[in-house]
Every structure is written in C-alpha cells, then in structure tokens.
Amino acid sequence: MVRPSQLLHPQREPAAPRPAATVLLLRDATGGAPGIEVLMTRRSATASFAPGAYVFPGGGIDPADAQAHDIAQHRPSQDGHRLTQAIAAIRESFEELGVLLARHVDGRFVDAGELAALDRHQPLAAQCRTRGLRLAADQVFVLAHWTTDRDLPRRFDVPFLVARMPAGQEPVADETEQFEPAWVRPAEALARHEAGSFFMIFPTIRTLQRLAPFDSVDAVLNACAGEQPLWTSCPRGGMLHGAEHRFMEHDMPYGELALVSPDGQVVHHLDWRSDQPVPLLRNVTRLTAPNGGVMTGPGTNSYLVGDPQTGYIAIDPGPDDAEHVERLWRAAGGDIRLIVCTHSHPDHAPGARPLQALCAAKPPILGLPSAPTARSASEFVPDREIANGEQLVLEGGGARHTLRVIHTPGHAANHLCLVLVEDGLLFSGDHVLNGSTTVVDPPDGDMSAYIDSLDVLSAACRAHQVDFILPAHGHVLGFPEKAIAHLKSHRLQREAKVVAAMQARPGGTMDDWVELAYDDVPPRMWPMAKRSLLAHVQRIEALGLAA
C-alpha cells in the first residue's frame, strides 16, 4: 500500500453513497431489424443530480420498499437485498413514468385501464394491497452495479436493473422530475449524444455501449440470469486534452488515477508528454521518451525513484536521446545514485551511459548483462551485475526507498523487474505492459520462461502487497494480480490457437500458421506476431503439445 506521506495531493473523505436503484425498461426493436430499444427520459433542468440529462427511471431506495416484500413475487435465487432494489425500481418507474410491473393473483399484468385508476402521488404498496396486486419483482434482473464517482458531492450506490416493458402500457412522464419519454436504440442514443442533441452522463453512456450488441430482450435477460451484475464500476476522472474524462476499471488510465488520486479528485493529466516529467507520487516520477510507435506505444517510460533528501535511482534511461536523458538528469536535480536497466533492448538501456556521464558522481549502471542470444542492438554490459532478490536502498532525511530485484526472463534473457517495497509498486519493464502484450522473440525470448516469470511476479505481488504495476510502456496498471492472470490466460489461449493451427496444417510454415493462430490480429501486424508465434511453437514442440 502506498505510504500516505508519498501522495501528491491532500486527501479528503469522499461523500458516502446513498442506496438507490434504476431500471432499464426494454422492448424488442420495431422496424424489422434485430435489436432492442430502451425507455429513456429527460431529467428536469433544475434537478440536483444530472440536470437535463437523458436517463433511465430510478431513484433512492425508501424504507417502505423493504416493507413491501409481502406483495412482491420473486425468484428463489433473488435474496432480500435484491428484492428491495427491484421493488424500489418498480416504484420509481411507476411514479416517474406511470409504468407498473405488477400482476393479479391469476398472473395477468395490470392493464392500461387499471393503471389509470392508480394515483402516482400516493404510496404504491398500499394501493397494490387494496387491489390484490403483486409486484412483479421476479421479472427484474440485475444488469450492472455502479457507484457514483468519488469526486462528486452527491453519490449513489446503484444497481442498474433490466425488465421487459409490460404489454399494453405507455409511458407518461410526471412532468416534474422526468420529461419527454422516448424509446431509443442504444446505438441511436449514443450517436445523438455525440451529435450534442441527447446529453447523457458517463454511466448511462457506458451502459448503452454494453447493450448495443444485444439483438433481443430475451438475449439481455438470459445474460442476466446469474443474479450477479455483468460489471461493477466506481469510475474515476482525469484530465485529457484539456477536459475531464471518466474511466471504468478496465480502462487503461484507471490504475494511474487510483495511484495518483486515491480519493478521486480530478487533478491528474493523462496526456502523454515527452517534454516534461510527470509526478506520480512524491517519490516516483515518470518521463516518457519521444520514441512512440507500433512497438513502443506512447514511448518508453523512464522512472525516477527517490526524493531530494535520498537522491534518486533511475530506472530504464531509455534510448540514446540527448534531450530525454538531460530531462531525466534535470528532474533528479543531478543527484542520481544508481541507474538500473530492466533489460538490454535498444529502447531501454542505451541512455544509461549518457546519463551516467551527466552526473558528477558517476552513478554505477546496474542490471544483468545481455546473454549470447541477444541481438547486436541489445548488447549490454552493466558496471555491476545485480542478483535476484537483491535490495537497492536509498536513505536520507528519515526516508527510505527500497527496490527489490526480481529476475524475470522471457521477454529477454536478462530481464528483471523491481518492487518498491515500502509503497507496494512493481516496475515491470516490458514483462507486463498496459494496453498490449509484449513480444517474446527467440532466441533471447523464451515463452516458457515468460509464463513462469508471470507466476513469479504474481507471487511477488502477494508477498509485497503490490497494488500497482508501473510498466515501461503505457499508464500505471491497477489490480496487479488480475492483470498478470489475464496476461497468462491470454498467452495460454494463444498457445491453444497455435496448437490448433499446427494440427490443421501439419508440416506448415510460420506463414501458414500465423494466419490461423493470429486471425484476430490485423495482417499488417503478422510479421511482428511471427516472433511470438515462433516462441509458442518452440514451447509447444518442447512440451509435445501438438502431438
């Protein structure tokens, strides 16, 4: 866990979220083409939350909702908490839109005439009891669960529920909280939002994006049959291109926002800059080299660990780019005590000697020497070879920063990662990236070693309570063990496709196999994919997996 003393910004307690519920009323799309339509309404321009936005009906959960279980039909797997949420959603859709999911004892849904006799301004449960109606909570399913962003003054803890629109009913807005009810396909709503004529807030947008591929209401309800949300999210905000943007947990910038601003304040800029350092913590600064491209993403990340009292360790000085190296030197005030290269590839290590030359104290360059299998452009000899498990320590002014070395061959034979022990951070070099998988290029790259090293990193994350991964390419990653497990799963899935390709075309060439095993990758990327393909083939043949 990151030490509070290293956070860049004073923290404040986010507002406590209030329990609420919302419901997406769905119907199969009209007009012949497959798809669904969802019922949406425009919120009042004076509403305290999301004024003027198009939303799904919903609102806060009332104590009375929990007291209406006796008149609600439910599934055996629908527990009391979920039942209360479903009742709240049914009540809100009735009060705001005049739509009621309720049945008679014989199973008939309420018709339009009976609905007209009910008063939307009076307690719904009492009226249902008087008329012998049962709330159809068994027809309400959990789609997702959202918690409002931490930076907002009003926050809600909200299940997004789904239900089929009852036949024979028409929505009528209350003209107080909700206006202009409209049936709209998800893709149409998103297009209108982009055009500026259908304003929606972030959770609504992302929910519609997830719904757009479904071709029927049945398909949606079947996907929700497991009683668990298909996704959960408490978004985080950051600045991008001069404007606020929101991100979910699976979005690439999410981990970086969680590291820099755990309380959710929108203070961090996500734009990639090669002209200036980017502070992530008081003791961690990132500088991205101006070498962006297909293989390097936005560029190679160099990191400085330390502070003015302890001096700094520079990790991966990057390519031999004079301006980048000088920026790295200036960001450390010239006080670099050690230079560490995670591996010897030309976008990571060549800047080490020029950086050392700028420093008056001539800090030693540490790492593992390149193996005989390395290509000529990756030849590297450190001043001192560091050992697996060794600790590199900075101390001064009462502060201590410890980097523990972990040898992780696979991407390169001399690859290593570093754990900042006091703050639970993993500097992963090229072994774990954000937004792509690394290339494993034989003979210096080895797929079995790469997969084994993933297991080593996963164990290290548990042992050192690592919360974030700082890769050599891309933003900071959160949920480290999940990210590593995803990488391993991806590699094994790709391996299965390579096995299938080898079995389908026995005696084939790499060109024969790449088009089958990498059919989900654009053909322009196949020349690079063949490097990792070869690593997979070597592993498969060594293990006898293609027999």
Q: Which pTM was predicted? A: 0.92
- Which of 404, 311, 314 lies closest to 352 in space, CA to CA? 314
Contact in structure between 174 and 120 (CB atoms under 8 Å): yes
DSSP per-residue letters across 406-453: EE--SSSTT-EEEEEGGGTEEEEETTS-SSSPPP--TTT--HHHHHHH
Cα 450 from Cα 443, distance rounded (Å) = 13
Low-confidence ranges of the chain (pLDDT < 70): none
A 10 A CB-CB count for 168 gives: 11
E strands within 212-276? 231-233, 236-240, 243-247
Strand 18-28 and strand 36-43: pairing?
antiparallel
CB 143, CB 135: distance < 8 Å = no
Report the pLDDT value the prediction gives residue 425, as an integer from 0 to 100: 98
Do 70 and 84 touch, CB atoms closer than 8 A?
A: no
Angstrom CA distances, 85 to 56, 62, 91, 329, stand at: 15, 10, 10, 57
Helix 510-517 × helix 480-504 angle, to 10°: 130
Residue 482 neighbours by CB under 8 Å, 6+ apart: none
pLDDT of residue 545: 87
The crossing angle, in degrees rounded to 10, of helices 526-543 and 480-504 is 80
Question: Residue 401 contacts by C-beta under 8 Å, 6 or more apart in sequence?
Answer: 283, 305, 306, 307, 310, 313, 393, 394, 395, 420, 422
Contact 472, 433 (CB under 8 A): yes
Terminal Cα-to-Cα distance of the chain (whole angstroms): 46
Residue 175's pLDDT is 82
Residue with token string 């060594």: 542
From 273, 281, 189, select the one nearest 239 (Cα to Cα).
Answer: 273
**Which two three-digit tokens encode residue 43?**
């919120």
